[in-house]
């Protein structure tokens, strides 16, 4: 299917209509594109010196833009599945890939099912996109920090700039202010108190796709911080009986653990810690063999080998796995048919998620109940929300970006319907 971003404009909305988009991330930029393609004058504001800063940072390790799995499985990855399903159905991962081809960006599916631009980079994609937006007449205003509405229920916007306070009036507004992680890139979460002051229900922002704190010894922390723990499986059962098990790898951090495997379980772990003060995960250091096979392997005499050398030679354990055993198990630990079960289920107590500003993304935000079906704030007619400032969360793997694109597009379509309704009445 060839994706067409344009929207037919049956009521003749024209360039004298002015819409503000506040926020220059993927949601805001997509909203600006949809609006400008409908012949609407779009002015995009951002507090930072340039747009797309978090987008560029997310692409540094390879621009994972979306995921190729079937739609039913794809939508199941989101915490607010029922609220997001319509928007993601209207702009699916396949639609996103087709849209990228209109920018001249080709994609491929990796072995994990994740989708990447062929060159794996975010910067060329962003440059092409901004060039098209400027050609379409979108005007960008950087270093404009939104301070709120001059008067509640108005669309007079107050901005703080290097030259002082600026007040601008628009026919409609799209807020795409991001979540609360990576504040130095612009997602400060400062908007939550401002939006709440207008009577809008906003859930507190919480870290998502985050690391967790573990009380490591000074030796283990200093020796192994930054070292990956590979070829393991993580299992966890929450206090509510929800199970999680997955293979992958972790990274030992100075304060605990981080990495893709723990990020995937972070929502469950975060909520369990909030409920009970801690969460216990179990690591299988040998997920490729059964406990029966492990007992058989360990039946070989240790002889004069130290425990470390025995584990290294017999099981292929590297230094960090051996150190983890010494860190977490009793000092008098010896291998036996019963104790080796701990190698298949090594407990690690997590005492807290890492701070929100360190997280890849955030949970919480504007409650969907405060919005209509087109993402307009019910108590602020003509003001719409999109992107990560909405109350949803998802794992890494392209899901975050896809929902930002889809809700940005949906909010823009909502603006067009809102303005069309006004024009017809």
* Per-residue confidence (pLDDT) for residue 3, from 0 to 100: 38
Mean residue pLDDT of the chain comes to 91
pLDDT for 271 equals 94
Q: What is the pLDDT of residue 140?
A: 98
Task: Write the pLDDT tens digit of every residue in 111-141.
Answer: 999 999 999 999 999 999 999 999 999 999 9
pLDDT band of 379, cuts 50, 70, 90: very high
Phi-psi region of 204 (alpha: psi -120 to 50; beta: other; left: phi over 0): beta
Residue 14, pLDDT score: 57
pLDDT at site 12: 54
Mean predicted confidence (pLDDT) in 67-95: 94
- Model confidence at 25, pLDDT cuts 50, 70, 90, reads very high
Strand arrangement, sheet containing 18-22: 139-141, 41-45, 18-22, 172-175, 383-385
What average pLDDT does the segment 164-178 reach?
96
pLDDT at 417 exceeding the cut of 70: yes
> What pLDDT, on a 0 to 100 scale, did the predictor assign at position 1?
33
Three-state SS string over the chain comes to: CCCCCCCCCCCCCCCCCEEEEECCCHHHHHHHHHHHHCCCEEEEECCCCCCCHHHHHHCCCCCCCEECCCHHHHHCCCCCHHHHHHHHHHCCHHHHHHHHHHCCCCEEECCCCEEEECCCCCHHHHHHHHHHHHHCCCEEECCCEEEEECCCCCCEEEEEECCEEEEEECCEEEECCCCCCCHHHCCCCCHHHHHHCCCCCEEEEEEECCCEECCCCHHHHHHHCCCEEEEEEEEEECCCCCEEEEEEEEEECCCEEECHHHHHCHHHHHHHHHHHCCEEEEEECCCCCCHHHHHHHCCCCCCCCCHHHHHHHHHCCCHHHHHHHHHHCCCCCCCCCCCCHHHHCEEEEECEECCHHHCCEEEEEECHHHECCCCEECCCCCEEECHHHECCCCCCCCHHHHHHHHHHHHHHHHHHHHHHHHHCC
pLDDT tens column, 301-336:
777 778 788 888 888 899 999 999 889 887 777 777
CATH number of 18-208+362-423: 3.50.50.60
Burial of 328 (0-12, 13-18, 19+ CB in 10 A): middle
Res. 7: pLDDT tops 60: no
Residue 411 vs residue 300, higher pLDDT: 411
pTM of the model: 0.91
Q: What is the pLDDT of residue 13?
A: 56
In this prediction, residue 5 has a pLDDT band, given cuts at 50, 70 and 90, of very low
So where are the chain's domains?
A: 18-208+362-423, 212-353
Query: What is the reported pLDDT for 10?
Result: 41
């Amino acid at each position: 299917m060839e994706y067409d971003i344009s929207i037919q404009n049956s009521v003749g909305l024209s360039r004298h209509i002015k819409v503000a988009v506040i926020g220059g991330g993927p949601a805001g930029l997509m909203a600006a594109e949809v609006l400008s393609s409908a012949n609407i004058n779009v002015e995009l504001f951002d507090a930072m010196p340039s747009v797309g800063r978090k987008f560029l940072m997310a692409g540094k390790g390879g621009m994972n833009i979306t995921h190729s799995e079937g739609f039913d499985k794809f939508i199941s990855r989101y915490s607010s599945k029922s609220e997001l399903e319509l928007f993601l159905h209207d702009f699916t991962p396949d639609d996103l890939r087709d849209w990228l081809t209109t920018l001249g960006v080709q994609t491929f599916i990796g072995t994990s099912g994740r989708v990447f631009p062929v060159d794996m980079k975010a910067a060329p994609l962003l440059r092409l996109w901004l060039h098209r937006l400027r050609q379409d007449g979108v005007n960008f205003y950087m270093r404009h920090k939104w301070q709120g509405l001059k008067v509640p229920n108005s669309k007079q916007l107050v901005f703080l700039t290097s030259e002082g306070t600026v007040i601008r009036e628009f026919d409609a507004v799209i807020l795409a202010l991001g979540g609360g992680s990576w504040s130095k890139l612009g997602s400060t979460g400062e908007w939550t108190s401002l939006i709440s002051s207008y009577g809008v229900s906003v859930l507190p922002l919480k870290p998502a796709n985050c690391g967790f704190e573990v009380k490591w010894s000074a030796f283990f922390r200093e020796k192994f911080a930054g070292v990956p723990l590979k070829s393991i499986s993580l299992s966890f059962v929450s206090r509510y009986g929800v199970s999680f098990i997955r293979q992958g790898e972790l990274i030992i951090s100075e304060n605990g653990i981080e990495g893709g495997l723990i990020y995937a379980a972070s929502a469950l772990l975060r909520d369990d810690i909030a409920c009970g003060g801690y969460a216990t995960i179990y690591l299988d250091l040998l997920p490729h063999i059964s406990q029966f096979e492990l007992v058989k392997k360990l039946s070989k005499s240790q002889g004069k080998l130290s425990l470390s050398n025995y584990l290294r030679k017999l099981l292929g354990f590297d230094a960090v796995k051996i150190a983890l055993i010494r860190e977490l198990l009793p000092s008098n630990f010896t291998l036996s048919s019963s104790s080796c079960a701990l190698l298949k289920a090594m407990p690690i107590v997590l005492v807290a998620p890492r701070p929100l500003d360190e997280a890849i993304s955030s949970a919480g935000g504007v409650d969907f109940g405060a919005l209509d079906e087109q993402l307009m704030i019910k108590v602020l007619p003509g003001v719409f929300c999109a992107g990560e400032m909405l109350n949803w969360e998802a794992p890494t793997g392209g899901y975050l970006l896809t929902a930002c694109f889809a809700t940005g597009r949906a909010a823009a379509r909502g603006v067009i319907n809102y303005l069309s309704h006004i024009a017809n009445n």
